[in-house]
Amino acid sequence: MIAERPLAVLVLTALLAVPLWALAVDEPFTITLATRAAILALAAVGLNIALGMGGLVSLGHAVFFGIGGYAMGILAYHAQTYTPLEIFGLSIEGTKSMPVIWLVATLVSALAAWGIGLLSLRTSGVYFIMITLAFGQMFYYFAISWSAYGGEDGLSIYVRNGFPGVNTLVPIQFFALCFALLCAALFLNARLQAAPFGLALNAARQVPARVETVGLNPVRLKLVAFVVSGAITGLAGALFADLNRFVSPTMFSWQLSGELIVLIVIGGVGRLMGPVIGACLFVTLEHWLGGITEFWHVFLGVILLLIVLFARGGLVGLLTGKEGPHV
Amino acid sequence: MSDPILATHSLSRSFGALKATDNVSIDLRAGEIHAIIGPNGAGKSTLIQQISGVLAPDQGRIELLGEDITRLSTVTRARAGLGRTFQISALAMEDTVFENAMLGALGARGNPWSFWRAAKRDTALSETALAALEQVGLAEARDMRTADLSHGQRRQLEVAVALTLAPRAFLMDEPMAGLGASGSKQMTGFLDGLRAEAPILLVEHDMDAVFALADRISVLVYGQIIATGTVDDIRKDAAVRAAYLGEDL
C-alpha cells in the first residue's frame, strides 16, 4: 500500500526516467512512446475532471482532442503555405509558435465544451452519453468533408512548431514540454479538487438535489467542470498533432473517446494519477502487444474486465488500498 | 398578529383526476412550529415539493417573507431563506461529515467559484460549518465518512446542513423518520430550541413528537386541510378523529 502523494511522485519520476534512459542508450523511438503516453495522459486528465469529479460520462471528448489538433493543423498549414486564414471577414496569419497554438486550441476547445455542455447537461445518464457521442460524430463527419483542410486524408505539417528557447525537433526536448504541461494540468486538477469548487462539484455528482437545496446550481457547476475538462483535452490534441506532424479526422473518432474512458477506468476514475497510469499502460500494451498481434485490444479488454469486476478503484485503488469516488 | 414568514394561498395541484393538493392555505409565523399531519397518501409530500420548488402548483401562490416565490427555482428559494431537510437523507455519502457541512456553508456564501485555495483553509467557511455541527452535536464525528454514520447521525447532519444556511424558515420532511425512541426524543428536544432561530414547517408521522412540539397543527386529508389549530383543538376535533387519529387519542 502506498499513499496517493508518493504514488504521484513515483509515477511521474518513472515517466520522466524512461525517456532519459532511452536518450542515454540512444533509443529515440522509446522517447516518442513516452511522449505519446504523456499526451494521452494529459487528454485523460482533462476528461477525468468531467468524468471523475463531475460524474459526466462524456463519450465525445475526442471532439476537444480533435479541435486542438485542427487548431494546430490549420494555423501551421497557413503558416507553411504563406496564405492568410480568412474567417469572419478577418484575415489572420498562420503561426508556427506553440504558445499561440496552445492558447487557440485551449480557448476554442473551451468554447466548444461550453456549447456542447450547455445542451448536453440538460440530460443525464445514458442520454448524456448518447448526446456527447452524437456531437463527436458530427465533428468527425464534418472533418471528413472539410476538403479545405485535407478532408478524409488529413493535413500534414512538415516541420514541428517551435517554442521559444526549445528545439522541438529534438525528441527529448519536445517530451519535456509535454511532460511539463502534464504536470501543470495535474497540479491544476489537485487544486480544483481541494478548492470550494471541487467540494461543490463533488457533491453535485453525488446528490444534485442537496446542492440545489443549499442554493447552488449543480448544472452550472458541472458545466464549468466540462469546460475546464474540454480545454485541457484540447491542449493535449494540439500536442498530439505536433507529435505526429499530422492531423486527420480520426482524432475526432468515437473510438478515441472510448479509449480515453477505458484508460481512466483502468487507472482509476476520479483519482489524480488514474489517467497517467492508465495512459502509460495503454501505450505500453499498444506497443508491445501490438507488435505481436493486431488484435491486442483483446488483452486490453481482459484487463478492463478484471479491473471492473475486482478492482473498482482501478490500479490507483489497488495500489493505495482506497476505493475512489463512484461515478 | 405579525405577518407570516411563509404562506401558501389556495395552492392546488392535480395528477390527472387526483387532486393531490386541493386549495391549501397554510401559514408559518415567527417563532412557531407548525406541524402538518395526515394519513399516507394525503398529499404531504406533494405539498412539500411545491413549497420547496421541486413541483410547480397548478394554481395558488407561495410567499416567503411577503415575496411571491411561486415561480422561483429551488436554488433561488434556498437563497431567499428557505432551509429544507429531506425525508430520506440526501447527503454526499462518500464525503466526510465536515465536507457536507462545508457544502452548506458554501451555499450560504452563494459563491462556489473559487478554484485555487483549499476549501479547508478557508476559515470563514469552516467556522460556519463547524458551528452547525456543534449545534447538532456532531462536531466529534466531523472527520467520519458520511456513509459510516448511524442513521440517527445522518438525520442530525441533514439538519446541520440546513442550519449552515441560517434560513428564515425551515421546511422539514419527517426529521424523525427511522429514529428510535431515544433518537426521536433527542431530535424533539433539539427542534424545540430551534424554533427561536427560525420557524419550522414540520411534516411528521411521529405523533408523540408532533404533540410535544407543535404550536399549531394542520391536518391534511385527500389533499385538503380539514382542520388547523392548537394541539388541544386537534385532539378534540371530531372530523380529525374520524378521518385520521383513531378513537384512542
pLDDT in tens, A192-221: 999 999 999 999 999 999 999 999 999 999
User: In Å, what is the CA distance from A159 to each residue of A77, A242, B128?
Assistant: 10, 9, 57
Domain ranges for chain B: 1-81+167-249, 94-166
Q: Residue A22 belongs to what domain range?
A: 4-320
CA dihedral A166, A170, A174, A179 (to 10 degrees): -110
How far is residue A63's CA from residue A132's CA, in Å, rounded to a whole number? 9
In terms of C-beta distances under 8 Å and separation of at least 24 residues, what long-range contacts does B91-94 make, across chains too?
Answer: B91/A207, B91/A210, B91/B146, B91/B154, B91/B157, B91/B158, B91/B161, B92/A202, B92/A203, B92/A206, B92/A207, B92/A210, B92/B146, B93/A206, B93/B145, B93/B146, B93/B147, B94/A202, B94/A206, B94/A325, B94/A326, B94/B145, B94/B146, B94/B147
- Domain annotation covers residue A326: no
A224 neighbourhood in chain B, CB within 8 Å: 113
pLDDT band at B205 (very low <50, low <70, confident <90, very high): confident
| Residue A229 touches partner B, C-beta closer than 8 Å | no
pLDDT tens digits for range A143-157: 999 999 999 999 999
Q: What angle do CA B163, B211, B65 make, to 5 degrees?
A: 40
Site from B48, B51, B75, B109 to mutate, A interface, most A CB atoms within 10 angstroms: B75
CA distance A177 to chain B (A): 24
Cβ-based contacts under 8 A for chains A and B? 102
Pick the CATH number of B1-81+167-249 from 3.40.50.300, 3.40.50.2300, 3.30.70.260, 3.40.50.150: 3.40.50.300
- Domain annotation covers residue A311: yes
Site from B77, B82, B96, B103 to mutate, A interface, most A CB atoms within 10 angstroms: B103
- As for the ipTM of the complex, it is 0.92
CA distance A149 to chain B (A): 38
pLDDT tens digits for range B61-97: 999 999 999 999 999 999 999 999 999 889 999 999 9
pLDDT band at B249 (very low <50, low <70, confident <90, very high): very low
Task: Report the number of distinct structural domains present in chain A.
Answer: 1
How far is residue A175's CA from residue A241's CA, in Å, rounded to a whole number? 14
Coil, helix or strand at residue B76:
helix
Q: How far is CA B120 from the centre of its chain?
A: 28
Region B97-124: what's the mean pLDDT? 95
| Residue B167 touches partner A, C-beta closer than 8 Å | no
Region A18-34: what's the mean pLDDT? 96
- pLDDT value, residue A222: 98
Contact criterion met (CB < 8 Å) for A196 and B119:
yes
- Domain annotation covers residue A325: no
- Element spanning B229, H or E: strand B224-229
B74 neighbourhood in chain A, CB within 8 Å: 212-213
- pLDDT value, residue B100: 97
Cell of B156: 442530525
Contact criterion met (CB < 8 Å) for A214 and B164:
yes
* Rounded percentage of chain A residues whose pLDDT exceeds 70: 100
- Domain annotation covers residue A230: yes
Mean pLDDT of chain A: 95
How far is residue A181's CA from residue A160's CA, in Å, rounded to a whole number? 17
- Domain annotation covers residue A132: yes
Region B37-64: what's the mean pLDDT? 94
